[in-house]
Amino acid sequence: MATIDEVHGYIRQFITSVGVDPNTCFNADSKAYYLKKGTASIEIFISSHPQNDNTTRNYLRIFSQVFRVPNDNKEALYRRLLELSDQSLGVKLTIQPGTDKVYATFERDINGLDANETATCINDLGLWADYFDDQLTKEFPPPPGDGNQAHG
């Protein structure tokens, strides 16, 4: 069973392997790592969730904002988000509550997690986030002058 400290070590090991100093991308206040993978900005952290049986489950959580919900054509976008989520093999598309921000999201209980799987999870999320950003922008182009849908 992996501990929270071990998983933080796996995350730091991955970040180091891509040529980034983990100390420069760790935010102590949010207890999260922030880095770029391709065009994707990725947030990585561990969250703890109390269970009804008085235990706690800890999850590796990885997010990347990939799009913003447009003012028009929302129904078609929501359908497309569900279709893309069905194809993404472990990564889901979510909308942050109270916002118009669409995220590529990966979550996994840390029980049994190792360094190789941690690296695979982060890499996969980065690849899917790049794909989703490109695909959604192509299918739902932003209005002129709106810039990149994912940011702002």
Q: What is the CATH number of the domain that holds 45?
A: 3.30.1460.10
Residues 27/37, Cβ–Cβ less than 8 Å: no
Residues 26/32, Cβ–Cβ less than 8 Å: yes
* Segments of the chain scoring below 70 in pLDDT: 146-152
What's the confidence (pLDDT) of residue 134? 93
What's the confidence (pLDDT) of residue 59? 98
Q: Is 146 within the bounds of a domain?
A: no
Domain of 87 in residue numbering reads as 4-139
What's the confidence (pLDDT) of residue 101? 96
> Looking at the 3D structure of the chain, how many domains does it have?
1
Nearest to 5, CA basis, from 53, 51, 80, 58:
58
Q: Is 149 within the bounds of a domain?
A: no
What's the confidence (pLDDT) of residue 146? 66
What's the confidence (pLDDT) of residue 44? 98
Nearest to 46, CA basis, from 58, 57, 64, 37:
58
Separation CA 137–CA 2 (nearest Å)? 38
Q: Is 150 within the bounds of a domain?
A: no
Q: Is 97 within the bounds of a domain?
A: yes
